[in-house]
């Protein structure tokens, strides 16, 4: 019998909590089919049914009930193990690895937080690591980075401290007919436009939030080209392959001849956050960075 992965056990625990594939999938920010496949794979590894499914309900089998406390223990032990290893590694190297996406590290609130952290801990070394749209959460969970400046919503197991809130805008190719329209646009104006997509199911819930999928009226967003980072996203938009919703700060950080940014009526604002894995929240470096962020917020308040 093959050993189950910690990831599969995390998904099993989410399903055991909700007893509903749809809710558990949303909690873990994956698609429902992807969750179902992982549960089936876990059952094959364990060689026993763990979940009893019907059209009306989901319940754990006796084997699933027996696995529940053991799965909790394994996941907790994995979190503790990662915490111990990363904590020891940080003490030896004195380095804090901080992830970011795109130009997030250049925003005013991030620069103030890093300045405050360096003032408090002059002997610590900060290593900034650029993350792409797909590996941002994985980098936190696996310990590739200790903390990251990201854009929520983020899945269960990732803790956040909100730093700022700002409007979102739509990024359009400069030669598109919509680019010549007067602001603000409406969501209805964009109904026929394909949106740039990201690969896989891992962050599907996060990307659906960012694309506004589904719309308030229930219609689904049509996805177009698949990208993995901000540069490929901007290039796809400039080439007329799709559009994207981005933080309003994109106007300042990504000015391009082939792009325009327009406001959209009814589009909810977005937040920026300091994020860390729940299992590593007590790490010395992460706690110190969090304390520096809170000090900056107390002194000046988040950017609005």
Q: How far is CA 282 from the centre of its chain?
A: 21
In a domain, 31, yes or no: yes
Residues 253 and 291 in one domain: no
Residue 5 confidence (pLDDT) above 80: yes
DSSP string for residues in 168-207: EEEEEETTSGGGGSPSPEETGGGTT--EEE-SSSTTHHHH
Whether 253 maps to a domain, the answer reads yes
Same domain (yes/no): 204, 59: no
Same domain, 158 and 289: yes
Is 1 inside any structural domain? no
CA distances from 193 to 129, 167, 176, 190, 250 (A): 33, 20, 11, 5, 20
Burial class of residue 67 in the structure, from the number of CB atoms within 10 Å of its CB (0-12 exposed, 13-18 middle, 19+ buried): buried
Based on the domain organization, do 175 and 238 belong to the same domain?
Answer: yes
Asked whether residue 235 is assigned to any structural domain, the reply reads yes
Average pLDDT, the chain: 91
Torsion over CA: 288, 294, 298, 300 (sign): positive
Q: In this structure, what CATH number is given to the domain that contains residue 20?
A: 1.10.10.10
For residues 46 and 63, the answer to whether their CB atoms sit within 8 Å is: yes
pLDDT digits (tens, 9 = 90+) for 28-62: 989 999 999 999 999 999 999 999 988 788 999 99
pLDDT one-digit tens code per residue, 121-163: 888 899 999 999 999 999 999 999 999 999 999 988 999 999 9
Question: Does residue 40 sit within a domain?
Answer: yes
Residue 1: what pLDDT? 61
Gap between the Cα atoms of 245 and 182, Å rounded: 17
The total number of residues shown for the chain amounts to: 304
Are 156 and 287 part of one and the same domain?
yes
Number of domains in the chain: 3
pTM: 0.70
Same domain (yes/no): 145, 18:
no
Last residue of a domain, one of 84, 111, 135: 84
pLDDT digits (tens, 9 = 90+) for 96-130: 999 999 999 999 999 999 999 998 888 889 999 99
Query: Are the C-beta atoms of residues 96 and 149 closer than 8 Å to each other?
Result: no
Same domain, 21 and 102: no
Q: Do residues 118 and 259 share a domain? A: no
Does 152 fall in a domain?
yes
Q: Which residues pair with 52 in a beta bridge?
A: 59
Q: Are residues 262 and 280 in the same domain?
A: no
Residues 260 and 180 in one domain: yes
Q: How far apart are CA 40 and CA 44, in angstroms?
A: 6
Domain boundary among 17, 49, 84: 84
Residue 213 lies in a domain: yes
Domain boundary among 40, 57, 84: 84
Question: Which structural domain range is residue 27 located in?
Answer: 6-84
Pair (184, 262) in one structural domain: yes
Bridge partners (DSSP) listed for residue 99: 129, 148
Is 89 within a domain?
no
Considering the domain architecture, whether residues 80 and 218 belong to the same structural domain is answered as no
pLDDT digits (tens, 9 = 90+) for 211-262: 999 988 889 999 999 999 999 999 999 999 999 999 999 999 999 999 999 9
CB atoms within 10 A of CB 155: 19
- CATH of residue 226's domain is 3.40.190.10
């Amino acid at each position: 019998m093959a050993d189950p992965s910690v990831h599969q056990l995390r998904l099993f625990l989410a399903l055991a909590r909700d007893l509903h594939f749809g809710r558990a999938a949303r909690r873990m920010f994956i698609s429902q089919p992807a969750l179902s496949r992982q549960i089936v794979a876990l059952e094959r590894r364990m060689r026993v049914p763990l979940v009893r499914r019907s059209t009306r309900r989901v319940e754990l089998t006796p084997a699933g009930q027996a696995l529940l406390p053991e799965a909790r223990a394994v996941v907790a032990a994995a979190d503790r193990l990662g915490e111990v290893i990363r904590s020891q590694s940080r003490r030896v190297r004195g380095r804090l690895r901080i992830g970011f996406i795109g130009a997030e590290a250049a925003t005013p609130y991030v620069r103030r937080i890093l300045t405050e952290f360096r003032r408090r801990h002059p002997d610590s070394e900060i290593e900034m690591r650029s993350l792409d749209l797909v590996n941002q959460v994985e980098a936190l969970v696996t310990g590739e980075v200790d903390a990251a400046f990201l854009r929520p919503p983020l899945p269960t197991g990732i803790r956040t401290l909100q730093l700022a809130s700002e409007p979102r805008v739509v990024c359009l190719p400069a030669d598109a007919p919509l680019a010549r329209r007067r602001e603000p646009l409406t969501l209805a104006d964009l109904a026929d436009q394909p949106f740039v997509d990201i690969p896989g199911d891992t962050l599907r819930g996060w990307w659906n939030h960012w694309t506004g999928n589904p719309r308030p009226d229930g219609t689904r967003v049509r996805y177009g080209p698949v990208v993995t980072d901000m540069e490929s996203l901007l290039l796809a938009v400039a080439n007329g392959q799709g559009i994207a919703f981005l933080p309003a700060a994109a106007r300042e950080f990504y000015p391009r001849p082939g792009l325009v940014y327009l406001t959209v009526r009814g589009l909810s604002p977005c937040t920026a956050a300091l994020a860390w894995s729940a299992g590593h929240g007590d790490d010395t470096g992460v706690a110190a960075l969090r304390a520096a962020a809170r000090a900056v917020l107390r002194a000046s308040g988040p950017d609005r």
